[in-house]
Amino acid sequence: MWFIIGIIVVIILVSIKQVNQYERGVKFTLGKFSGIMNPGWNIVLPIFQSYSKVDIRTKAVDVPEQDAITGDNVSVRINAVIYYKVFDAAKAILEVENFRYAVSQLAQTTMRNAVGSVSLDELLSSREKIATEICKIIDEATDPWGIKVENVELKEITLPEEMKRVIAKVAEAEREKAAVITKAEGEVEAANNLAKAANVMGSTPGALHLRTLATLNDLSSDQSNTIIFAIPIEVLKAFEGLDGKKVVEAVKKTKK
């Protein structure tokens, strides 16, 4: 009697299977799917029943670096990381043999196809857009497997050395172009301002004389400067043969 009770107790203890909160169990009875095991203790009868645990937490899969060719025939190497989780444990076990391996292989193929459909400039400038497109394609393909792809991030895009040099030259040319344009715009603005200043001084009596005096005052602040005055030829001719007292009278006549 006690022997039979002992056997029953042992069978019960062996039949108790624990499923953690972040897991779900897929139970099979005589080889047929018979239900989902929720977190906690569950009874799985030896011989007659079996089960498989499925982790339903979000997983990060590092997609190995892939060789790909862009739409404009540039060879690149690219890798990415995929975040996904299982939302239906039964489908993840029943619909695909190894969902982890299947997701990784699908991601590699999709990534190469996505890179091949865009140019190099689009690949470098629109990484988020391309990653979103890859995520959408993989999510649609894995939905029958009970898997939800949450996000795809392109980690690194490696270019050939010769292409890096070409891109560097293009960037340098663009910077030189921007510098030349900026300098030309500055010269045009300066010329416009000088023209406005000349018009103002020309239309205002005494403005040019005040400007000349201000310039002389600036020059006189440094004793090392040599100031050269431009004197009209008529004034020089008027000074010829005159002594110091008559110079002032000659200048006045010249002004008149």
Q: What is the pTM of this model?
A: 0.62
Question: What local confidence, expressed as pLDDT, does residue 72 receive?
Answer: 80
Residues 65 and 141 in one domain: yes
Residues 80 and 23 in one domain: no
The mean pLDDT value for 135-158 works out to 91
User: What gap in Å lies between CA 254 and CA 232, rounded to an integer?
Assistant: 10
Per mean pLDDT, which range of 9-18, 22-31, 45-54, 160-169 is the poorest? 160-169
Cβ neighbours of 205 (radius 10 Å): 8
252 located within any domain: no
101 located within any domain: yes
Cβ neighbours of 149 (radius 10 Å): 23
Residues 19 and 36 in one domain: yes
Measure CA of the first residue to CA of the last residue in the chain; give whole Å: 146
Question: What local confidence, expressed as pLDDT, does residue 227 receive?
Answer: 64
Give per-residue pLDDT as tens, 179-209: 888 888 888 888 888 788 777 777 777 666 6
Cβ neighbours of 24 (radius 10 Å): 23
On the question of pLDDT at 28 being above 70, the answer is yes
How many angstroms from the chain centroid is the CA of residue 192?
40
- Domain end residue (candidates: 142, 159, 176): 159
CB 100 within 8 A of CB 147: no
Give per-residue pLDDT as tens, 219-238: 666 666 666 666 666 555 55
Residues 64 and 136 in one domain: yes
Question: What local confidence, expressed as pLDDT, does residue 93 receive?
Answer: 92
Burial of 172 (0-12, 13-18, 19+ CB in 10 A): exposed
On the question of pLDDT at 245 being above 60, the answer is no
Residues 83 and 41 in one domain: no
In degrees, rounded to 5, the angle at the alpha carbon of residue 99 between the alpha carbons of residues 156 and 33 is 165
Q: Half-sphere exposure of 134 toward its Cβ, with a 13 Å CA cutoff? A: 33
Residues 78 and 43 in one domain: no
Residues 27 and 63 in one domain: no
Question: What local confidence, expressed as pLDDT, does residue 190 receive?
Answer: 85
Question: What local confidence, expressed as pLDDT, does residue 123 receive?
Answer: 84
**How is residue 70 written in tokens?**
């862009």
190 located within any domain: no
115 located within any domain: yes
209 located within any domain: no
pLDDT > 90: percent of the chain: 25
In degrees, rounded to 5, the angle at the alpha carbon of residue 194 between the alpha carbons of residues 189 and 197 is 125
What average pLDDT is seen over the chain?
A: 81
112 located within any domain: yes
CB 159 within 8 A of CB 167: yes
Number of domains in the chain: 2
Closest by alpha carbon to 85, among 62, 114, 61, 117? 61
Residues 22 and 37 in one domain: yes
On the question of pLDDT at 253 being above 70, the answer is no
Q: Which helix (H) or strand (E) holds 157?
A: strand 147-158
User: What gap in Å lies between CA 249 and CA 254, rounded to an integer?
Assistant: 9
**How is residue 191 written in tokens?**
């010329």
The mean pLDDT value for 127-152 works out to 91
**How is residue 55 written in tokens?**
């982790």
Question: What local confidence, expressed as pLDDT, does residue 225 receive?
Answer: 61
Per mean pLDDT, which range of 70-79, 147-156, 242-251 is the poorest? 242-251
Confidence class for position 239, pLDDT limits 50, 70, 90: low
Question: What local confidence, expressed as pLDDT, does residue 7 receive?
Answer: 78
Question: What local confidence, expressed as pLDDT, does residue 148 receive?
Answer: 94
CB 208 within 8 A of CB 198: no
Domain range for 74 is 59-159
- Domain end residue (candidates: 134, 159, 184): 159
230 located within any domain: no
b/e code 228-253 from CB counts within 10 Å (16+ = b): eeeeeeeeeebeeeeeeeeeeebeee
CB 146 within 8 A of CB 87: yes
CATH of the domain at 129: 3.30.479.30
